[in-house]
Structure 1
Amino acid sequence: MTKPKKNKTLLIIYPHWHPANLAGVQRPRLIGNYLSELGWQPRVLTVDEKYFEEIPDPDFYNAFSPDFVVTRVAAFPIIKPRLIGDIGLRAFWQLYKGALKIIREEHIHFIWLPIPSFYNALLGRLLYEKTKINYGIDYIDPWIRDITNQRNLRAVLSQWLAKILEPIALKKVSLISGVDTAYYRPALQRNFLNFFDKNGKLKAESTNPYTLTKMAHLGMPYGFDPNDHKLTIRDAIPPWGKEINRKIWLYAGAFLPNSHLFLQAFFKAVANLRKQGNWDEDIKLWFIGTGSYPSKRIITYAEDFGLRDIVEERRERLPYLHVLNWLSRADTVLIFGSTEPHYTASKTFQALLSQRPLLTCFHLQSSALNILDSCNASQFSVRYTPENNTLELESNFKRVILQRFAKTKWQPNLIPLKQYSAEYSAKKLISRIEQINPKETII
């Protein structure tokens, strides 16, 4: 199929880019990989990699379309004591000036700003006031959120600022998108009540009362790029090395503040199964890329339940393509979601594509469960509701673990995944942008 002429440009402003393989980078990468096929040029403004704190992932570059045109700017360095680490804040002024330069020299049709970094959203408002170019904010995570398990001073201050800054950033917005409608619905309720009818039902589009122009919203998953699984990688030796006689149950990705309840119930279920002689001692539980979360560590939980001999954790972020390879080598892939109903794990897609059995726990209302159900891949899934007590969760984990031991056939149907692909999400995004930018309709 011949690609349409790229006669429109989407300016994507995001402080991180390759070789940083953060989850936030995946969002614009996955969407941007398919923009060219839709007649749009993906134009990226980001920060020079020498200002990143993350360990570089050089192989990650191969997962990006050659259609991206990228400009990198400087950032203020981190000083000691480390008062400001957020790169979106350290590079805020440079990104603003860089965006104005691009807008002066090129024809930009729309500006799209994924968050976090949450300060990134404020650039949209500032650029609109200066240029009147419509902008959209994409909620990878909710800005104002539940911090029950993060009651430290930094988290409290962050939420205090969020309540001040979010209305400022959203005031002149044309599009609010997110990995799920539930991620941004509260933001619409706080700032744009005209999006709701008298019964509280959310409308697809409305008018921004501050600009008197069309405004829309859009929920679209991270999705996945099937080409990622076709890429050749170097030296993908798994963290467990040559433990070829062990069955690896692998959790890959950030450990969430609201996942602690699930982990405790899972470990307690494993500990009780061991006491009863119903645990497979060939299994080793690996947690990789869990991040520098501030709360109680996974290893500490393992010690509490007498499981330290079968639990390993690597907190540092690992090469993305290597992790895909390791998922396919695991005996079972673990995914623990959140006690919050809006959470939808982007890692669900990559886990399904690994073609390994998934043992998961999600809130009953999580869209991740809908995905697993549609793919006939939820037979080892625990469904959480707030009414569940710890004993019920433990019992449900024991049930799915024993089902996994019973060699239940794993035959997922991946055809329904197509509607969750990055290509599909890109089409939805462009369709919405063209709806609210009628004067810029492609000829």
Structure 2
Amino acid sequence: MKNLLIISPNFPPINAADMHRVRQSLMYFQELDWNPIVLTVKPEQIEGNIDENLLQTISPKIEIIHVSAFSPRWTRKIGLGSLGLRSLWFYKNAGNKILKTRKIDLIYFSTTMFPVMILGTYWEKKFSIPFVIDMQDPWHSEHYLKVPKHQRPPKFWFSYRLNKYLEPIAMKKVSGIISVSQGYCDILQQRYTNIRPENCTVIPFGAFRTDFEVLEQQKILNSFFSPGTDTINIAYIGRGGHDMELPISAICKAFKRGLVESPELFKRIKMYFIGTSYAKDGKGKATIEPLAQKFGVDQYIKEFTDRVSYFEALQILREADMLLIPGSVDPNYTASKLYPYIMAQKPLLAVFNEQSSVVEILKRTNAGEAIVFNGATTTETLATNIYESWQNILLRLPFIPDINWTAFEPYTAKKMTEKQVNFFDMILKAKSALHEHSECI
């Protein structure tokens, strides 16, 4: 059995979006002849929401090693809160110890705490161990240079320059790239000559049925609405942002039309946009409600920037009358949260860029309606398309979608883990062939 060292700063019981790939894959790695060793940060040194129920999805047989991090109480005094930077020194020392004393076949960085990824190049040079990077989000991006300054993330000036410096270091010796989007692979291939198509593979997040099995065993309260009333509760749980302005504006415009043309349906609606900011609780900036106010529908739309626990999120999805997912204008945005929405088995309306993988997945599985847009789509046109599909859904409520579970099977966590392992095996085979070739020379 080959040994896989996984670098994942966020890990249960921390509820963070970037740890789910690892969490969902752990139970399958060993049956696929890979022994996972997770190197993560101590939970008490992470600024994140805690969900103890997440621990029930991790086998006690999995080896988990914790590292420290500089306390944010001190680092924030100099404007530094990044977990990747705070834990970098401790990761280096812990990784060195493991790699010196144990046989590790491959190092796997699966995180959006990007600074720790530079250790891949350092360890490859020091120990000749290949490493793979899981690109769940863009690292160094030019996107925010093209938008007004008020739409840029906090500390953009610093993070942009840091990312521009660190990304080439990490990519210099990387053996393979796993990405949730082909677009991310294309960008890296354009930037770095050592990253070629055969070094890259696209693997979305998987659907993890264990989560809903755990949910069934818990009594988790939905603190936002009461199911079973005459109100039609529509929920979205996930980030907001200015890159979603087009679909959100079109949704508000479609809703306003519904209030006029079909008031008997649309006046019963309450929409909840939950966990829309990555900022600390109470510090998030609303990006949905300002648009609702602009279109005069804020009476029906409520935004909660604070994030909720993972399992409360699942409970909300399960108790809502209908689910809504707005996408980004970025065609590479895939919405990894799509699968819990599908497994909640509720009427689903998604508004996404036509190039997003979400559109194809919903079409194949018959799990919901996908309203698409592109760079030329106007708010008016998109709103018209949304309204027509939305009205049809409301007229049918309540109902359970006729999901094609056979078509859904390739998107399960088990199948996605198999793809990861096949890619790991290919990387090791290529590394071995290169080594043999060098010895012959």
Counterparts in 2 of 1:415 and 1:157: CA distance versus 1, 3 Å: same
Q: Which residue of 2 aligns with 1:289?
A: 275
Alignment of 1:184 with 2:173, yes or no, is no
Q: Which residue of 2 aligns with 1:173?
A: 174
- Once the 2 structures are TM-superposed, how far is the Cα of residue 61 of structure 1 from its aligned partner? 0.8
Q: C-alpha deviations, 1:23-53, integer Å up to 9, x for none? A: 1011111122310110111101111111111
The answer to which of 299-308 and 245-254 deviates more is 299-308
Report SS of the residue matched to 1:142.
Answer: coil
Counterparts in 2 of 1:386 and 1:241: CA distance versus 1, 3 Å: closer
Aligned pair partner of 2:419 in 400, 418, 428:
428
Alignment of 1:259 with 2:248, yes or no, is no
Give the residue type in structure 2 aligned to 1:262.
P
Between the two proteins, the alignment pairs up a number of residues equal to 416
Give the residue type in structure 2 aligned to 1:106.
R
Report SS of the residue matched to 2:346.
Answer: coil
Report SS of the residue matched to 1:67.
Answer: coil
Aligned residue runs from structure 1 range 345-364, under 5 A: 345-364=335-354
Structure 1 Cα separation of the partners of residues 316 and 286 of structure 2: 26
Structure 2 Cα separation of the partners of residues 9 and 257 of structure 1: 42
Structure 2 stretches lacking a partner, 5+ long: 434-441
Q: Which residue of 1 aligns with 2:224?
A: 240
Aligned pair partner of 1:228 in 193, 211, 221:
211
Q: Which residue of 2 aligns with 1:208?
A: none
- Once the 2 structures are TM-superposed, how far is the Cα of residue 152 of structure 1 from its aligned partner? 5.2
Q: Which residue of 1 aligns with 2:34?
A: 40
**Preserved contact between residue 351 and residue 370 of structure 2 (Cα < 8 Å):** yes
Question: What is the Cα-based RMSD across aligned positions, in Å?
Answer: 2.1
| Length-normalised TM-score, structure 2 | 0.89
Q: Which residue of 2 aligns with 1:86?
A: 82
- Once the 2 structures are TM-superposed, how far is the Cα of residue 291 of structure 1 from its aligned partner? 2.0
Structure 2 Cα separation of the partners of residues 193 and 129 of structure 1: 16
**Preserved contact between residue 16 and residue 49 of structure 2 (Cα < 8 Å):** no
Structure 2 Cα separation of the partners of residues 440 and 226 of structure 1: 36
Structure 2 Cα separation of the partners of residues 108 and 343 of structure 1: 33
Structure 2 Cα separation of the partners of residues 108 and 257 of structure 1: 42
- Once the 2 structures are TM-superposed, how far is the Cα of residue 116 of structure 1 from its aligned partner? 1.1
Structure 1 Cα separation of the partners of residues 157 and 351 of structure 2: 28
- Once the 2 structures are TM-superposed, how far is the Cα of residue 160 of structure 1 from its aligned partner? 2.8
- Once the 2 structures are TM-superposed, how far is the Cα of residue 97 of structure 1 from its aligned partner? 0.5
- Once the 2 structures are TM-superposed, how far is the Cα of residue 440 of structure 1 from its aligned partner? 7.5
Structure 2 Cα separation of the partners of residues 152 and 425 of structure 1: 32
Identity of aligned residues (%): 30
Q: Which residue of 1 aligns with 2:3?
A: 9
Structure 2 Cα separation of the partners of residues 281 and 233 of structure 1: 35
**Preserved contact between residue 278 and residue 307 of structure 2 (Cα < 8 Å):** no
Q: C-alpha deviations, 1:405-429, integer Å up to 9, x for none? A: 2318731212212111111121111
Structure 2 Cα separation of the partners of residues 15 and 292 of structure 1: 16
Report SS of the residue matched to 1:33.
Answer: helix
- Once the 2 structures are TM-superposed, how far is the Cα of residue 393 of structure 1 from its aligned partner? 1.5
Q: Which residue of 1 aligns with 2:104?
A: 108
Q: Which residue of 1 aligns with 2:200?
A: 217
Report SS of the residue matched to 1:12.
Answer: strand
**Preserved contact between residue 35 and residue 41 of structure 1 (Cα < 8 Å):** yes
Q: Which residue of 1 aligns with 2:63?
A: 69
- Once the 2 structures are TM-superposed, how far is the Cα of residue 194 of structure 1 from its aligned partner? 7.1
Aligned residue runs from structure 1 range 24-423, under 5 A: 24-78=18-72, 79=74, 80-81=76-77, 83-145=79-141, 146-147=143-144, 148-149=146-147, 150-151=151-152, 154-192=155-193, 195=196, 203=197, 205=198, 216-231=199-214, 232-242=216-226, 244-245=228-229, 246-278=231-263, 279-292=265-278, 296-378=286-368, 380-407=369-396, 410-423=401-414
Structure with higher helix content: 2
Structure 2 Cα separation of the partners of residues 190 and 267 of structure 1: 39
Q: C-alpha deviations, 1:183-224, integer Å up to 9, x for none? A: 2220111102773xxxxxxx4x2xxxxxxxxxx211101112
The answer to which of 308-317 and 171-180 deviates more is 308-317
- Once the 2 structures are TM-superposed, how far is the Cα of residue 237 of structure 1 from its aligned partner? 1.3
Q: Which residue of 2 aligns with 1:212?
A: none
**Preserved contact between residue 109 and residue 440 of structure 1 (Cα < 8 Å):** no
Give the residue type in structure 2 aligned to 1:396.
N
| Length-normalised TM-score, structure 1 | 0.88
Q: C-alpha deviations, 1:54-74, integer Å up to 9, x for none? A: 121111111223332111111
Structure 2 Cα separation of the partners of residues 367 and 321 of structure 1: 25
Structure 2 Cα separation of the partners of residues 396 and 356 of structure 1: 20
**Preserved contact between residue 38 and residue 427 of structure 1 (Cα < 8 Å):** yes
